[in-house]
């Protein structure tokens, strides 16, 4: 680990595998240019959902992939983010751009409160606790009159498009760019994190807690740090989602399906890998959107059946996710030269 | 608030607690054996209740008599689960194990939703009906018998694991898989037996609850949550710990619901979980 760390530190950050770098740069430019070609609103919606789910999965990847702790209630932070922006906009007229940070702050506090008792213990305790937390949040918000109880919050609509209120009614293009920018920022930051000292320590904690402890890494503190980072990535997505659909209720934003899908996307794409969530999201989100079109409304949870099946098959045959099909030397920088 | 209401709540809590205890015991047995938490436990409970329901609705078999069939079906289901899923993930990382059983739970629940729709069902006019009145405390007969059967099954399980040869072999496998294999105990077979027994317990609980509980596809979630808490509370892998933990949870749930607010039952149980995990992380009777 140490030699790799020295290696990572000695090199400038942009000195990445050149081919990969140019592909990524090309893709980013393409994504920025896409709406200019006049996509219809369904495709815009599809891309927005892919960006959103990729970031949500990345958030789960930070806690589960990097530090090895499984959270089964990540929807809680999504909901906190959603309620934070909607509530403060409706009650006090605070712009969502500020309350996004408030949502992140509250999520971080909850992550610390949950993390301190739970992350000292082995993984099963944490997984069970987070499962309980996810459902507790839904129960509490369903009964909490201040935030509209079970009927939720209906965000007051501005008469026309407004960047202040982050509401756009005439077109989805602004939403596309907002989500795209958040997506790129998050992935860049997580990529930096994965290469940083912190990232290496988190992986050490995941792979062998006792060895990490013997190297003076405070295991439980690092787990809590990872959980807080993870929560702070999740909350803005909840906020943006609330601004996107403008009606939130506990059943929608605290749904256990959110916790399921982030897990599924990450495991499908490749857990513990920065690029895994992109792969997972760009495969799974189209499946789910198209199955909603063709199979939706039947009441049968057909897409969930596939989710469960995919999850089991991936776990049995490809525990490292689809990204393990891609040769390693393309993904990582060339080590010897 | 009179003392009768409190006694009533305690009795109700005790009866629910015994059912939680049996469900948790199955979970704990599986965990102790192979250190895998079965996150599909609630869905297996749902399956057992539906098996009871369909045997009643298609063949007119009262839930009381269909219990042996339900147990066998669930035990078979456990063996299938082991054979097709668990076998492959025994050596995988914990993260993959959790994801796999979680995937199984999603799969079972949504298949059930597709096949049987999310409607609420119940068994009409089962043999066990009515209530008993002791003083001013009312005890529903189905609830009473369900908890008694669960208690008997619990001690049957305990006797099986601690006294019979197969049970001792199970314990040996739980303690050290490889040492047991050297002594001629096939660990794969033991795992399959463990799954069969663990889900058989769920079959008993589900079959008895079908007498009075609503049967729907999401019924398992709450029971599974309480079972997880009971297992953590009693100590992962300890079977007798589940009995105490189950009773504690049942009491907390019903007394909390009575004294504070019934809509936050889950939160009281969660609070208990937090307290135990903070002050006694190995649980009340835990090995670890």
Question: Which span out of A15-19, A326-330, B223-227 was modeled with the highest average pLDDT?
Answer: B223-227
Q: How confident is the model at residue A333 (pLDDT cuts 50, 70, 90)?
A: low
Cα of B141 to nearest chain A Cα, Å = 31
Q: Quick one: average pLDDT of B153-169?
A: 89
CB-based burial of residue B60 (10 Å sphere; 0-12 exposed, 13-18 middle, 19+ buried)? exposed
Q: H-helix or E-strand containing A153?
A: strand A153-154
Rounded CA gap, A109 and A128, in Å?
A: 20
Place B276 in a pLDDT band, splitting at 50, 70 and 90: confident
Task: Decide the pairing of beta strands A247-248 and B131-134.
Answer: unpaired
- Residue A98 region by backbone torsions, left for phi larger than 0, else alpha for psi between -120 and 50, else beta: alpha
Statement: residue A28 has pLDDT above 80: yes
Give yes or no for residue B188 having a pLDDT over 70.
yes
pLDDT tens profile A38-59: 778 788 888 888 998 999 999 9
Chain A residue numbers touching B94 (CB-CB < 8 A): 68, 70, 123-124
Inform me whether the pLDDT recorded for B263 exceeds 80. no
Element (H, E) at A248: strand A247-248
Q: Which of B90, B95, B107, B261 best probes binding to A when mutated, by most A CB atoms within 10 angstroms?
A: B95
pLDDT band of residue B141 (cuts 50, 70, 90) is confident
Enumerate the residues of chain A whose CB falls inside 8 A of the CB of residue B105: 308
Q: Show contacts of A88-92: CB within 8 Å, 24+ apart.
A: A89/A155, A89/A156, A89/A165, A90/A153, A90/A155, A90/A156
Higher confidence at residue B225 or residue A38?
Answer: B225
Diameter of chain A by CA atoms? Answer: 63
Rounded Cα gap, residues B5 and B16, in angstroms: 16
CA distance A292 to A286: 10
**Residues 6+ away with beta carbon under 8 Å from A150:** A142, A143, A249, A250, A251
Q: How large is the C-alpha radius of gyration of chain B?
A: 19
A139–B264 CB contact, under 8 Å: yes
Q: Do B110 and A308 touch (CB under 8 A)?
A: yes
Whether residues B92 and A315 touch (CB distance < 8 A) is answered with: yes
Q: Which residues of A touch B108 (CB under 8 A)?
A: 308
Task: Kindly list the residues from chain B whose CB atom is less than 8 angstroms away from the CB atom of residue A145.
Answer: none
Mean pLDDT of A301-308: 78
Written as six digits, the tokens of B197 are 């027994």
Cβ–Cβ gap A312/B221 under 8 Å: no
Confidence of residue B72 (pLDDT cuts 50, 70, 90): very high
pLDDT of residue B226 exceeding 60: yes
Mean pLDDT of chain B: 85
Per the structure block, which two tokens stand in for B141?
């007969």
| Yes or no, beta carbons of A305 and B114 under 8 Å apart | yes
From the list B92, B106, B263, the residue facing A311 with the nearest CB is B106
CA dihedral for A138, B46, B38, B157, sign (positive or negative)? positive
* Cα distance between residue B9 and residue B15, in whole Å: 10
The H or E element containing residue A233 is helix A219-245
- Any residues with CB less than 8 A from the CB of B174 and at least 6 apart, and which? B32, B33, B237
Give the per-residue pLDDT at A337.
42
Residues A219 and A205 sit within 8 Å (Cβ to Cβ): yes
Interface contact A308-B118, CB threshold 8 A? no
Which of B28, B46, B98 best probes binding to A when mutated, by most A CB atoms within 10 angstroms? B98
Does A18 score more than 50 pLDDT? yes
Read off the pLDDT of residues A68-95 as tens digits, 9 standing for 90 and up: 888 888 888 888 888 888 888 877 877 8
Least confident of A317-326, B25-34, B143-152, B195-204: A317-326
Q: How many Å separate Cα B201 from the centre of its chain?
A: 7
Interface mutation target, options B80, B102, B108, chain A, most CBs of A under 10 Å: B102
Set of chain A residues whose Cβ sits within 8 Å of the Cβ of B88: 315-316
Helix (H) or strand (E) holding A154: strand A153-154
**In this complex, how many residue pairs, one in chain A and one in chain B, have their CB atoms less than 8 Å apart?**
137
The predicted-structure confidence for A125-165, as pLDDT tens digits, reads as follows 888 888 888 888 888 888 877 777 777 777 777 777 777 77
Mean pLDDT, residues A223-233: 89
**Cα B208 to the center of its chain, rounded Å:** 12
Separation of alpha carbons B126 and A74, rounded Å: 41
Structure tokens given for B179: 């040492």
Q: What is the pLDDT of residue B196?
A: 92
Q: Mean pLDDT score of chain A, rounded to an integer?
A: 80
- For residue A233, is pLDDT > 80? yes
Partners of A310 on chain B (C-beta within 8 Å) are 103
- For B110, the token pair is 């949504």
Please report, to the nearest 10 degrees, the dihedral formed by the alpha carbons of residues B227, B228, B230, B236 taken in order. Answer: 130
Neighbouring residues of A124: CB distance < 8 A, sequence distance ≥ 6: B31, B37, B94, B98, B232, B236
Per CB-CB distance under 8 Å, the chain B contacts of A132 are 225, 228-229, 266, 269-270, 273
**pLDDT value at position A299?**
52
Confidence check on the interface: ipTM exceeds 0.90, yes or no: no
Whether the predicted pLDDT of A13 surpasses 60: no
SS (H, E, C) chain B: CCHHHHHHHHHHHHHHHHHHHHHHHHHHHHHHHHCCCCCCHHHHHHHHHHHHHHHHHHHCCCHHHHHHHHHHHHHHHHHHHHHHHHHHHCCCCHHHHHHHHHHHHHHHHHHHHHHHCCCCECCCCCCCCCEEEECCEEEEHHHHHHHHHHHHHHHHHHHHHHHCHHHHHHHHHHHCHHHHHHCCCCHHHHHHHHHHHHHHHHHHHHHHHCCCCCECCCCHHHHHHHHHHHHHHHCCCCHHHHHHHHHHHHHHHHHHHHHCCHHHHHHHHHHHHHHHHHHCCCCCCCCC
Does residue A319 have a pLDDT over 50? yes
Q: Which domains occur in chain A, in start order?
A: 2-331 (1.10.3470)
Beta-ladder partners of B139: B132
Is A333 strand, coil or helix? coil
Band of the pLDDT at A330, cuts 50, 70, 90?
low
pLDDT at A11 over 70: no
Going by pLDDT thresholds of 50, 70 and 90, the confidence category of residue B175 is: confident
B41 contacts on A by Cβ (under 8 Å): none
Of A109, A68, A2, A74, nearest in space to A222 by CA: A68
pLDDT exceeds 60 at position A335: no
Distance from CA of B59 to the nearest CA of A (A): 26
CB B210 within 8 A of CB B53: yes
Q: Of how many residues is chain A composed? A: 337
Among B94, B104, B106, B117, pick the best mutation site for testing chain A contact (most A Cβ within 10 A): B106
In terms of Cβ atoms closer than 10 Å to its own Cβ (0-12, 13-18, 19+), residue B15 is buried
Give the DSSP per-residue string, A64-116.
Answer: IIIS----S-THHHHHHHHHHHHHHHHHH---HHHHHHHHHHHHHHHHHHHHH
Find the range with the poorest average confidence among B90-94, B123-127, B159-163: B123-127
Q: What is the mean pLDDT of residues B147-155?
A: 89
């Amino acid at each position: 680990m140490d030699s790799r760390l020295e290696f990572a530190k000695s090199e400038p950050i942009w000195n990445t595998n050149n081919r990969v770098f140019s592909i990524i740069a090309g893709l980013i430019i393409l994504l920025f240019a896409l709406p200019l070609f006049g996509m219809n609103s369904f495709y815009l919606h599809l891309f927005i959902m892919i960006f959103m789910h990729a970031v949500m999965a990345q958030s789960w990847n930070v806690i589960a992939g990097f530090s090895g702790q499984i959270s089964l209630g990540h929807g809680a932070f999504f909901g906190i983010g959603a309620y934070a922006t909607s509530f403060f906009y409706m009650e006090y007229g605070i712009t969502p751009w500020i309350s996004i940070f408030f949502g992140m702050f509250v999520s971080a506090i909850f992550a610390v409160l949950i993390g301190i008792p739970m992350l000292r213990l082995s993984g099963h305790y944490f997984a069970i606790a987070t499962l309980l937390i996810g459902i507790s949040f839904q129960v509490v918000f369903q009964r909490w009159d201040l935030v509209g109880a079970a009927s939720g919050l209906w965000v007051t609509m501005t008469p026309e498009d407004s960047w202040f209120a982050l509401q756009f009614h005439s077109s989805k293009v602004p939403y596309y760019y907002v989500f795209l920018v958040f997506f790129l920022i998050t992935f860049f930051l997580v990529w930096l994190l994965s290469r940083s000292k912190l990232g290496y320590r988190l992986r050490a904690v995941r792979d062998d807690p006792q060895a990490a402890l013997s190297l003076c890494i405070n295991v439980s503190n690092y787990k809590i740090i990872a959980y807080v980072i993870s929560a702070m990535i999740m909350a803005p997505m909840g906020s943006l989602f609330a601004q996107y659909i403008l009606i939130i209720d506990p059943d929608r934003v605290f749904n256990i399906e959110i916790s399921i899908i982030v897990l599924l996307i990450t495991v499908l794409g490749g857990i513990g890998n920065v690029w895994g969530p992109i792969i997972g999201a760009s495969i799974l989100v189209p499946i789910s959107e198209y199955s909603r079109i063709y199979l939706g409304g039947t009441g049968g949870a057909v897409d969930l059946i596939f989710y469960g099946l995919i999850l089991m098959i991936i776990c049995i045959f490809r525990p490292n996710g689809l990204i393990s099909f891609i040769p390693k030397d393309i993904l990582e920088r060339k080590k010897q030269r | 608030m009179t003392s009768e209401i409190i006694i009533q709540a305690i009795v109700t809590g005790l009866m629910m607690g015994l059912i939680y205890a049996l469900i948790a015991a199955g979970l704990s047995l599986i965990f102790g054996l192979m250190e895998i938490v079965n996150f599909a436990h609630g869905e297996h409970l749902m399956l057992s209740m539906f098996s009871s329901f369909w045997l009643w609705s298609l063949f007119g078999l009262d839930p009381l008599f269909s219990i042996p069939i339900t147990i066998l079906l669930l035990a078979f289901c456990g063996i299938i689960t082991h054979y097709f899923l668990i076998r492959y993930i025994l050596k995988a990382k914990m993260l993959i194990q959790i994801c796999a059983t979680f995937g199984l739970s999603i799969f079972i629940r949504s298949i059930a939703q597709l096949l049987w729709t999310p409607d609420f069902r119940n068994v009409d006019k089962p043999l066990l009906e009515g209530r008993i009145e002791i003083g001013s405390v009312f005890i529903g007969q189905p609830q009473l018998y369900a908890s008694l059967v669960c208690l008997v099954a619990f001690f049957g399980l305990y006797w099986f694991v601690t006294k019979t040869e197969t049970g001792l072999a199970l314990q040996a496998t739980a303690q050290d898989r490889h040492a047991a294999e050297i002594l001629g105990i096939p660990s794969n077979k033991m795992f399959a037996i463990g799954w069969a027994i663990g889900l058989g317990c769920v079959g008993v609980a589900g079959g008895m609850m079908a007498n009075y509980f609503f049967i729907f596809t999401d019924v398992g979630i709450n029971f599974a949550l309480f079972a997880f808490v009971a297992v953590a509370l009693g100590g992962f892998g300890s079977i007798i710990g589940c009995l105490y933990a189950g009773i504690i949870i049942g009491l907390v749930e019903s007394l909390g619901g009575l004294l504070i607010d019934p809509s936050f039952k889950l939160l009281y149980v969660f609070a208990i979980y937090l307290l135990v995990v903070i002050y006694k992380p190995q649980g009340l009777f835990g090995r670890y």
